[in-house]
């Protein structure tokens, strides 16, 4: 038994159970067992409460907070293991206790977040090491603690569970509470590893100032971002969260001279979970800074299970977010407002939700997760009338955009479907948005697989959109875009999801980024997209090439990099194809190939990355693109984003294993071709 230089008290409720007697007695350090009612916390340097049986929260348990909280604020430490973690609300540590309890059927162990793998708490642990079998647990799954920082997910014999989170830490004054809601049991299996975990935990609690806190303010978020700076897959000129999970862009607005981009964010880790709203801002679209999390689920509100996608509007000088709140199996619209000129603090509307029920007609889609699919909001005002679009699907298997009007943001009248999909256009339409141009309107929706747009006209009097043509905003890894009206242009960002497995995302510590800001326009009935002009300010030294390509030869360019912009004019002449290889290793074996033919534009990623990554190509038709092809290409860590003749966009995610995969080359097949190219290294936007 190790000799720790501090006293550890092990309290219990009512009677000491056999499991507690076993765990406390086998601890790798000396303990003193004491009943809670007789506990004098200051007698001990640390307290450890283990609970294997179901914990009944009684009024008596609340009385213990009166002694524990002053003890913690003065520098004491409290370790909660097993189902004792369920007491955090009763003890005044966090208003949100774990939402799932039970007993594990398999061997389990902690799966630390990427930024905590080197923390002393996990010292001496191999990757995915099991510490217990048939362990009791209390963990966060559908909800997250309001104040605590989650440290680890669950490694399990049958596979890792990234959304099952039983380890958390709370800083309370000068002290701390460490919760290990699993991985500790009275069994003998994995006893040595269990004892190491307990020893590490007690040792860390003896120095509470060294335990992490959830990053909340701008400096802390910057420090969090810095922990991932060495990842060569991490984009530098595309927007990312400081760490963890990012999906849809939300709430795009220009306010007091700054651009604000909010996004779907899970602070628990790089997996989709309890969604908050992350936030970044910029004065010029070039340099960005992280802002504090804007929306957090309310423990007792209609958004308890997540604050999902929505938009930002100016309500007579009040910045207002309209978003989807989720609770149990219901999705309904909610509001939040701010009186902060920097949009860093928000208050949710006390009468949320502002629509109580989805409409009865048409009959809307339901799933095992949701009573009705009814989410994502796009709003605009004309005169005294607010117009409001919501995404859904019908029980007949087609997507639909629903239309509401109102004279204020809290009261809405249902007007009916503004547009219903046809077979093959998706059974659910998420993230609808309507943009008005000079003589045409553009409506786009996301249908789980793609972002489909419709060019046509919107008739507000009839509440209907008449389609004239349709297409895809992007033919690759691009989803759920949202736009910002900025003077005489629209700026659009989309979510670029990962094309690698959940394990690779967890190990990286981050998931998802946003596209470059795109300027949209409609010419005739055709959509045009180009990178925002401000991005040129990121350019470094300019390189220019005019290259005649002979078939069967490869020309390596004298520029290397993983953060580049290329502007090329490609003449096929007699060639069947022209290929631009980027992110290429010195050996040439690892490469991402952009291939242009008469028929298609393609990102070939068959040799682009390592295990766990998608190898299927990303393709777009090119038969109606003029020759020569004018191509703008942005290469950024794991992103290849293409703009072809300003008419077609194609985005692919790739993950070269080698940090030295940064070479560029050109080649042609089937005949001669020529390429004129400008190339710039790009600076970071952070």
Residue pLDDT, tens place only, 297-348: 998 899 999 999 999 999 999 999 999 999 999 999 999 999 999 999 999 9
Q: Is the peptide bond before 146 cis (omega within 30 degrees of 0)?
A: no
Q: What does the pLDDT average to over 45-64?
A: 92
* Torsion angles phi and psi, residue 20, rounded to 5: -65, -40
pLDDT digits (tens, 9 = 90+) for 248-277: 999 999 999 999 999 999 999 999 999 999
* Domain ranges in the chain with CATH number 2.115.10.20: 218-534
Q: E strand or H helix at 673, and its extent?
A: strand 673-681
* Torsion angles phi and psi, residue 219, rounded to 5: -60, -40
Residue with tokens 């380890």: 167
Per cent of the chain over pLDDT 70 is 99
* Domain ranges in the chain with CATH number 2.60.120.560: 539-681
Look at the chain and count its residues: 686
Q: Residues 452, 455, 459, 465: is their CA dihedral positive or negative?
A: negative
Task: Give rounded-to-5 percent helix, strand, coil for the chain.
Answer: 10, 45, 45
Q: Is the full-model pTM beyond 0.85?
A: yes
Query: Please, what's the largest Cα pairwise distance for the chain?
Result: 90
CB 129 within 8 A of CB 193: yes
**CATH C-level class of 218-534:** mainly beta
Residue 3 pLDDT: 46
CB 509 within 8 A of CB 244: yes
User: Is the pLDDT assigned to residue 5 strictly greater than 80?
Assistant: no
For residues 391 and 404, what is the distance between their CA atoms, to the nearest angstrom? 12
Helix (H, G, I), strand (E, B) or coil at 621: strand
Q: How many CB atoms lie within 10 A of CB 58?
A: 11
Tokens found for residue 671: 């005949």
Q: What does the pLDDT average to over 153-179?
A: 96
Tokens found for residue 11: 């309290």
CB 169 within 8 A of CB 179: yes
For residues 619 and 573, what is the distance between their CA atoms, to the nearest angstrom? 22
CB 334 within 8 A of CB 323: yes
Q: What does the pLDDT average to over 229-257?
A: 98
Q: How many CB atoms lie within 10 A of CB 597?
A: 18
pLDDT digits (tens, 9 = 90+) for 582-638: 999 998 889 999 999 999 999 999 999 988 999 999 999 998 887 899 999 999 999
| CB proximity list for 158: less than 8 A, separation 6 or greater | 106
User: Is the pLDDT assigned to residue 284 strictly greater than 50?
Assistant: yes
Residue with tokens 């997250």: 144
Residue 653 pLDDT: 98
Residue from 94, 248, 290, 303 carrying the catalytic annotation? 248
In the chain, count of helices (H) and strands (E)? 6, 45
Residue 30 pLDDT: 92
Fold type of domain 8-210: Rossmann fold (3.40.50)
Strand ranges (DSSP E) for 398-503?
Answer: 399-408, 411-420, 430-436, 441-446, 451-459, 464-472, 479-486, 489-496
Helix (H, G, I), strand (E, B) or coil at 507: helix
Q: What does the pLDDT average to over 549-569?
A: 96
Q: Is residue 459 among the annotated active site residues?
A: no
User: Is the pLDDT assigned to residue 127 strictly greater than 80?
Assistant: no
Q: E strand or H helix at 579, and its extent?
A: strand 577-584
CB 323 within 8 A of CB 308: yes
User: Is the pLDDT assigned to residue 4 strictly greater than 80?
Assistant: no
CB 405 within 8 A of CB 416: no
User: Is the pLDDT assigned to residue 524 strictly greater than 90?
Assistant: no
Q: How many CB atoms lie within 10 A of CB 533?
A: 11
Residue 429 pLDDT: 98
Q: Which of 78, 36, 82 has its CA nearest to residue 60?
A: 36
User: Is the pLDDT assigned to residue 2 strictly greater than 70?
Assistant: no
CB 98 within 8 A of CB 181: yes
Q: How many CB atoms lie within 10 A of CB 226?
A: 12
Q: What is the mean pLDDT of the chain?
A: 95
Which pLDDT band holds residue 523 (cuts at 50, 70, 90)?
Answer: confident
Tokens found for residue 440: 């045409």
For residues 421 and 414, what is the distance between their CA atoms, to the nearest angstrom? 19
Residue 446 pLDDT: 98
Residue with tokens 């912009």: 565
Tokens found for residue 71: 């003890």
Residue 188 pLDDT: 80
For residues 493 and 486, what is the distance between their CA atoms, to the nearest angstrom? 13
* Domain ranges in the chain with CATH number 3.40.50.880: 8-210
User: Is the pLDDT assigned to residue 1 strictly greater than 60?
Assistant: no
Domain 539-681 part of CATH 3.30.980.10: no
């Amino acid at each position: 038994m190790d000799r720790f230089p501090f006293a550890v008290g092990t309290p219990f409720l009512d009677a000491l159970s056999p499991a507690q007697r076993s765990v406390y007695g086998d601890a790798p350090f000396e303990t003193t067992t004491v009943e809670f009612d007789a506990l004098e916390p200051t007698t001990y340097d640390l307290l450890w409460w283990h609970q294997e049986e179901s914990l009944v929260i009684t009024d008596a348990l609340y009385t213990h907070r009166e002694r524990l909280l002053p003890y913690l604020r003065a520098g004491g430490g409290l370790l909660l293991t097993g189902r004792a973690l369920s007491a955090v609300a009763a003890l005044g540590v966090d208003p949100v206790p774990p939402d799932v309890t039970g007993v594990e059927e398999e061997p389990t162990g902690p799966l630390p977040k990427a930024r905590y793998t080197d923390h002393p708490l996990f010292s001496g642990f191999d990757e995915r090491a099991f510490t217990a079998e048939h362990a009791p647990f209390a963990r966060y799954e559908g909800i997250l603690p309001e104040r605590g920082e989650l440290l680890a997910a669950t490694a399990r014999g049958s596979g890792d569970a990234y959304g099952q989170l039983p380890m958390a830490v709370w800083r309370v004054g000068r002290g701390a509470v460490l919760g290990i809601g699993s991985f500790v049991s009275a069994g003998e299996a994995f006893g040595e590893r269990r004892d190491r975990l307990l020893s590490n935990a007690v040792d860390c609690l003896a120095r509470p100032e060294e335990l992490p806190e959830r990053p909340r303010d701008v400096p802390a978020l910057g420090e969090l971002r810095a922990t991932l700076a060495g990842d060569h897959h991490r984009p530098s000129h595309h927007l990312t969260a400081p760490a963890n999970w990012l999906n849809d862009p939300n709430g795009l607005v220009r306010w007091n001279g700054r651009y604000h981009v909010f996004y779907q964010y899970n602070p628990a880790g790089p997996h989709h979970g309890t969604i908050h709203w992350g936030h970044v801002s910029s004065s010029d679209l070039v340099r960005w800074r992280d802002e504090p999390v804007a929306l957090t689920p309310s423990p007792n509100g209609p958004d308890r299970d997540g604050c999902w996608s929505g938009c930002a509007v100016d309500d007579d000088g009040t910045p207002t977010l309209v978003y989807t709140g989720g609770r149990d199996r219901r999705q309904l619209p909610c509001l939040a407002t701010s009186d902060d000129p920097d949009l860093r603090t928000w208050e949710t509307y006390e009468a949320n939700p502002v629509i109580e029920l989805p409409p009865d007609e048409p009959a809307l889609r339901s799933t095992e997760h949701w009573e009705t699919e009814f989410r994502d909001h796009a709003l605009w005002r004309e005169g005294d009338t607010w117009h409001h679009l919501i995404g859904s699907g019908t029980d007949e298997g087609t997507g639909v955009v629903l239309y509401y009007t109102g004279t204020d943001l809290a009261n809405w009248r249902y007007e009916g479907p503004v547009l219903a999909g046809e077979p093959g256009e998706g059974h659910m339409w998420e993230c609808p948005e309507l943009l008005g141009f000079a003589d045409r309107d553009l409506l786009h929706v996301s249908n789980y697989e793609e972002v489909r747009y419709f060019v046509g006209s919107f008739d507000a009097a009839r509440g209907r959109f008449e389609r004239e043509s349709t297409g895809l905003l992007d033919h690759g890894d691009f989803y759920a875009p949202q736009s910002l009206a900025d003077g005489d242009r629209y700026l659009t960002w989309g979510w670029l999801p990962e094309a690698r497995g959940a394990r690779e995302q967890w190990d990286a510590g981050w998931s998802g980024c946003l596209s470059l800001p795109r300027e949209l326009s409609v010419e005739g009935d055709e959509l045009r997209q180009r990178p925002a002009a401000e991005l040129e300010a990121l350019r470094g030294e300019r390189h220019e090439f005019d290259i005649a390509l002979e078939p069967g030869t490869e020309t390596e360019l004298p520029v290397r990099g993983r953060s580049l912009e290329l502007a090329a004019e490609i003449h096929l002449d007699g060639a069947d194809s022209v290929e631009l290889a980027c992110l290429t290793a010195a050996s040439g074996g690892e490469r991402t190939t952009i291939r242009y033919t008469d028929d298609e534009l393609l990102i070939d990623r068959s040799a682009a990355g390592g295990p766990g990554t998608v190898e299927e190509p990303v393709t777009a038709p090119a038969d109606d693109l003029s020759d020569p092809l004018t191509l703008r290409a942005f290469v950024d860590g794991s992103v290849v984003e293409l703009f072809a003749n300003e008419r077609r966009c194609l985005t692919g995610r790739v993950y070269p294993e080698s940090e030295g995969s940064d070479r560029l080359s050109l080649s042609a097949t089937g005949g001669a071709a020529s390429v004129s190219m400008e190339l710039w290294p790009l600076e970071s936007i952070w």
